[in-house]
Amino acid sequence: MFSSLLIANRGEIVCRIIKTARALGVRTIAVYSEADRDALHVRLADEAVAIGPAPASESYLDSAKILAAARQIGAEAIHPGYGFLSENAAFAEACEKAGVIFVGPPASAIRAMGLKDGAKALMEKAGVPVVPGYHGDLQDPAFLKQKAYEIGYPVLIKAVAGGGGKGMRRVDKAVEFDDALEYAKREAQNAFGDPRVLIEKFVTNPRHVEIQVFADGHGNAVHLFERDCSAQRRHQKVIEEAPAPGMTTEVRKAMGDAAVAAALAVGYVGVGTVEFIADGSGGLKADGFWFMEMNTRLQVEHPVTELVTGTDLVEWQLRAASGETLPRAQQDLTLNGHAVEVRLYAEDPDNGFLPSTGTLDLLRFPQGEGIRIDTGVEEGAAVSSFYDPMIAKVIVHGATRDAAMERLSAALAQTAVVGPRCNLAFLRKLVDHPAVRAGGFDTGLIDREIETLTGGEVSDAAIAAAVSILNGLVKEPEVSSGWSDPWSICDAFQLSGDREVGVRVVVDGVEREMRMDWRNGKPVVPTVENAEVVRIADGVVALEGGRAVKVALADSLLREAKDDSGHAAVKAPMHGKVIAVFVEEGSEVSRGDRLFIVEAMKMEHAVNAPRDGRVERVAAGEGDQVEEGAVIVVLEEMELEATG
């Protein structure tokens, strides 16, 4: 085993790798950008090296800086984590030339599986079933549109390089194809530096089932069973679990054999994931699944496999990179119980899942038997716009799927996030959704049920309890199964009789009036289940159902006058980079017309005109970094021409 390991990544995966490396007695070296100077992964490592500015292209994606850091610190090996350079064949080759061990597959395997078109052709030769579609080199838009017509709608446009749902668009009609292709190509270019795409048939009632494989450098390969990642939004995984609901011994063997064949076909070494799309109608079938792609790295969802197989996949990686043989044969691997993982993100499900930034004023995770939290942040840390907005992975294990889902539901109920908006309330609803509990869902579930999975707000009763703390009438916040008169402590101000009063409060920056009943000299608060009020450094927060709102008393002297000028300021929905502006001063637009696109965390977000109007001012241009809420375009109402 090598004695020192540089981890060329950031956040929770670095913290995860450090844990195993330390247990093996390996010295760990972290790298960090200017934005991550005080990050948790930097403090956990034995040593850390600065590698540049906040943008990933100037730090975590700069292979020369990573290798320079390895030479500077004397690292014997480099673990790329996932994302960034983890599937970069040129980086793997550069490590080899520099005499540094790359903890991952050989560059040839990364290259063979790194481009989806070539990988599918290779899998066809190896006898692995693939999804029907066009996987060729010709990228002419008209030609691709014709291929989509021949394949038959609906189709998927998919980036040839990369993964994570970026550069991917589902198209249901020919009239939607041109815009979808434009978005997919631009997003693929921004995320992977490669705009090429392929076209595939969209499978009806699709299930996303992937097989964890592992191979050593001595010609041995095994699979560690499957994970079901069918609960997705925009092709990004939301819930991952092992084993897959409804999986049979026959289908598991067929998928496992195909995955091992795929790994052996490219001379694979290390951990990898072979992803299949399955036809979920009528249950999983041995002849009803097709190869999608192979991820030549550790997966975000690897913890669920570890929990059901009793393995440490990072340890396996480090041992394989050191030249050791597989620690277990296929017949020695067994399944134990059920594990489920959800990804807690700083994003706003009620606003199109836009990424959110800000300081984590409160961050509380559950503890207990069968609960695992993988995170790279802590309370007081900032979620920036430069990187993936993941806060943590909440993972649970239970004897059965029902037990695991119950444990996950309870764990999410004990989780609290205050600061940036997050998807906690959405996750709680999703985990408790009847279709998810029954295990009979496909990749379209979230889109179909989005209205029931989003929306809602913290109740007036919980806000009223927060107001009571602001008034100093309750000394300490409490968790309760039901609020019971938080104004039970009397002060000098008392009124007799029953009356209704209005209180001006500010809830998440929005001023509003609350009507409260007073009886016998004190306010009456309605009972509310499972609410909590907590103090943070700059105020009070009401928590309920996974949602959090900051509550303050309104200051009438600071109220802003409303703008009745007829102008409309169209603002950036999040902190990010303006990558396209479609209008200029004097342009006339109709409601729904695209005004500009902001890119944040490698995802594009188009902003449309809220109403008809004329562009009075364009306040930002392509390439500008903008803050959330920054005015980008100002519209003025157009005077209607007189007719007669």
Domain ranges of the chain: 4-103, 132-201, 206-453, 460-558, 567-636
**C-alpha distances in angstroms, 630 versus 39, 180, 511?**
27, 27, 20
Helix (H, G, I), strand (E, B) or coil at 344: strand
CATH architecture of 132-201: 2-Layer Sandwich (3.30)
Question: Any idea what DSSP says for residue 127?
Answer: T
Task: Give the whole-number percent of the chain exceeding pLDDT 90.
Answer: 66
pLDDT given for residue 577 in this prediction: 86
Q: What is the pLDDT of residue 136?
A: 86
Q: How many CB atoms lie within 10 A of CB 424?
A: 24
Contacts of 128 (CB under 8 A, 6+ apart): 258, 261, 262, 265, 291
Specify whether the CB–CB gap between 444 and 482 falls below 8 A. no
Higher pLDDT, 330 or 468: 330
Mean pLDDT, residues 494-517 taken together? 74
Is residue 557 pLDDT above 60, yes or no? no
pLDDT at residue 521 in the model: 60
Averaged pLDDT for residues 482-486: 42
Q: What is the pLDDT of residues 215-233, one digit of tens each?
A: 999 999 999 999 999 999 9
Regarding pTM above 0.95, the answer is no
- pLDDT at position 588 is 93
- What is the per-residue pLDDT for 475? 43
Gap between the Cα atoms of 363 and 356, Å rounded: 15
pLDDT at residue 346, rounded to an integer: 96
| Contact between residue 257 and residue 247 where contact means Cβ atoms under 8 Å apart | no
Distance CA 57, CA 557 (A): 46
More confident residue, 128 or 31: 31
Burial of 425 (0-12, 13-18, 19+ CB in 10 A): buried
- CATH number of this structure's domain 567-636: 2.40.50.100
Contact 596, 632 (CB under 8 A): yes
Give all strands (DSSP E) within 3-154, no chain letters. 4-7, 27-32, 47-50, 77-79, 101-102, 133-134
> pLDDT of 160-181, one tens digit each?
886 667 889 999 999 999 999 9
Q: Which of 20-24, 326-330, 563-567 is least confident?
A: 563-567
The predicted structure's pLDDT at residue 170 = 92
Q: Look at residue 45 and tell me whether its pLDDT is greater than 70.
A: yes
Name the CATH topology of 4-103: Rossmann fold (3.40.50)
CB 214 within 8 A of CB 313: yes
**What is the DSSP code string of 159-190?**
ESS--TTTTEEEE-SGGGHHHHHHHHHHHHHH
Span 184-195, average pLDDT? 88
Cα 11 to Cα 16: distance, rounded to the nearest angstrom: 9
**471-483 mean pLDDT:** 46
User: 206-453, which class in CATH?
Assistant: alpha beta
- Which residue in this structure is represented by tokens 């998927």? 156
Residue 623 pLDDT grade (very low, low, confident, very high; cuts 50, 70, 90): confident
Residues 336-343, mean pLDDT to the nearest whole number: 98
Residues 350-373: pLDDT tens digits? Answer: 988 988 988 999 999 999 999 999
Confidence of residue 606 (pLDDT cuts 50, 70, 90): confident
**CA-to-CA distance for 506 and 335, rounded, in angstroms?**
52
Per-residue CA distances from 451 to 347, 351, 455 (Å): 17, 12, 7
pLDDT at 560 over 60: no
Mean pLDDT of 93-120: 91
Instruction: Give me the percent of the chain exceeding a pLDDT of 70.
Output: 90
Which pLDDT belongs to residue 399?
Answer: 98
pLDDT of residue 301: 97
User: Helix 313-321 vs helix 12-23: angle between axes, to the nearest 10 degrees?
Assistant: 70
Write down the pLDDT at residue 641. 47
Task: Answer with the residue of higher pLDDT: 281 or 96.
Answer: 96
Of 520, 464, 436, 109, the residue nearest 241 (C-alpha): 436
Q: What is the pLDDT averaged over residues 88-106?
A: 97
Given a cut of 70, whether residue 496 has pLDDT beyond it is no
How, if at all, do strands 510-519 and 499-507 pair?
antiparallel
Least confident of 79-88, 137-146, 275-284, 551-560: 551-560
The pLDDT-based confidence of 485 (bands split at 50, 70, 90) is very low
- Tens digit of each residue's pLDDT (9 = 90 or more) over 420-434: 999 999 999 999 999
Average pLDDT over residues 129-134: 88
Residues 269, 257: Cα–Cα separation, whole Å: 17
The amino acid occupying position 242 is: A
Helix (H) or strand (E) holding 398, with range, is strand 390-398
> Band of the pLDDT at 513, cuts 50, 70, 90?
confident
Average pLDDT over residues 138-156: 95
Q: Which positions are catalytic? A: 297
Question: Which candidate, 598, 513, 516, places its Cα nearest to that of 556?
Answer: 513
Strands 101-102 and 77-79 come out as parallel
Q: What pLDDT does residue 497 have?
A: 55
Structure tokens at 228: 């079901």
Tell me which of 35-44, 263-272, 362-371, 380-389 is least confident: 380-389
> pLDDT (tens digit, 9 = 90+) per residue, 232-267?
998 889 999 999 999 999 999 999 999 999 999 999
- SS3 call for 400: coil
Amino acid code (one letter) for 272: G
